[in-house]
Chain A
Amino acid sequence: MKKILVVDDSASIRHVVSIALRGAGYEVIDACDGKDALNKLNGEKINLIISDVNMPNMDGISFLKEVKKHPRYKFTPVIMLTTEAGRDKMEEGRMAGAKAWVVKPFQPPQMLDAVAKLCLP
């Protein structure tokens, strides 16, 4: 089963996204910020990362830079969550290797479609 890591400081977003992903046939690990995510990953194989940009402790872009250093996650696709206002961060994220963006607020089907384009269950 394909495994997806969901990183967001909002518990409700994590919850909704996780339910949707599990319903579509993915396994989900969730984390509340970059630091938490790195701890939970612990070298485990995953197929896709969904990460918010603005988070306490370690923000999305720093997390991305960090996680991409690990040989295991070098090729792992990343979907970044952003808001309409956060578009200026996109270039920075792009440089760090994030190619897919989903703008908040989004509906679960939208998120599932974006996930499917990069990694079908």
Chain B
Amino acid sequence: MDIFLQLTVSGLSTGMIYALAAAGFVVIYKASDVINFTQGDLLLLGTYLIFFAIGQIGLPWSLGVVVTVLLAVAVALAIERLVLRPLIGEPVISMIMVTIGLSSILRGLVNAIWGPAPRSFDSFLPEGSVVVGPAVLSTGRLLSIPIALAVLAALGLFFRHTRDGIAMRAIADDQQAALSMGISIPRVFGVAWALAAASAAIGGIMLAGVVGVSPNVASIGLRVFPVVILGGLDSIKGAVIGGAMIGLLEAYTGGYVGHGLNLVVPYGVLILVLMVRPYGLFGKEIIERV
């Protein structure tokens, strides 16, 4: 039972980090139909920026978080303006390859600046652990769950209540109609990338606190795909629930079955979902089918 509780908490906290990365992915996909392979590298950037801000410059943690998010947003805006905008309307393969190229550049830059060795700094998440019955749960992991949920809820509210959020939904619905209503598509694409970077940066900050700062963080980017396919490519709610489900699934298979099976089970789920219900749990039921 205590193992179960421990696995649940660690699964949920990993799942919430997946959800943060996946939410960014969904925002970009919704607005511009771009499959974003750089999501993992934006997480990576987040972990190294917070290390830079707190560990290297010595800012207090609150200021460090703000600086990290702002820098990540600046990088994302530059990416959107310089690389993605000239390619609006290109075929799927080009969009996939351009984000793969970007991911390669980001990873190379992070490695060149901070080196390949793992780094460490005083965690800003409270140390120690909470004892619930027989289980010992790390406070950092426990705390990361409500933080992520708050960020995701804010993202949901943004879509429902702000001008840019509504414009984004309009564009997702029908680009031409949105254009003729005077919505600026470049602006919306920029906002989408900024939001994706912000949510990934917060995910990266939490990763830095929970797991540590190392180049391996980028590999989480691939975990986004099972999450978004399960939840639905265009649904924030799907990203949250899909993230939690994939995180828990990984934790349980890792804890109870072992054999590295936790690395591959999410992809099995992915293929299954694609075969049975390609639009996922909460996605809109349109899919290009043959």
Tell whether A and B belong to one assembly: no
